[in-house]
Amino acid sequence: MKKIPLWMRLPLMNWFGLVAGALMLLLPFLGPWWSATVGTGAMDLALSPYEGRIQA
């Protein structure tokens, strides 16, 4: 069996799949994506597709 050099294997990789896989692992732990605050802490709203938080 002939060993294929790394520089020849790189174009065969699914680069979009690698990026999407990394994002799937990271995004749930990065915290809220959107946040809004009323006053100086009177009400806080933090949302993401994975969690929601309302603090009054």
Distance CA 27, CA 19 (A): 12
How many structural domains does the chain have?
A: 1
**Is 1 part of a structural domain of the chain?**
no
DSSP 8-state symbol, 56 = -
**Is 30 part of a structural domain of the chain?**
yes
Give the SS3 label for residue 49: coil
**Is 13 part of a structural domain of the chain?**
yes
pTM of the model: 0.49
**pLDDT digits 0-9 by tens, 23-52:** 989 888 888 888 888 888 788 988 888 778
Give the domain range for residue 16.
6-55
pLDDT band for position 22 (50/70/90)? very high
pLDDT band for position 19 (50/70/90)? very high
**Is 43 part of a structural domain of the chain?**
yes
Collect all residues with Cβ–Cβ distance below 8 Å to 11 and sequence separation of at least 6.
none
**Is 41 part of a structural domain of the chain?**
yes
The answer to whether the beta carbons of residues 13 and 4 sit under 8 Å apart is no
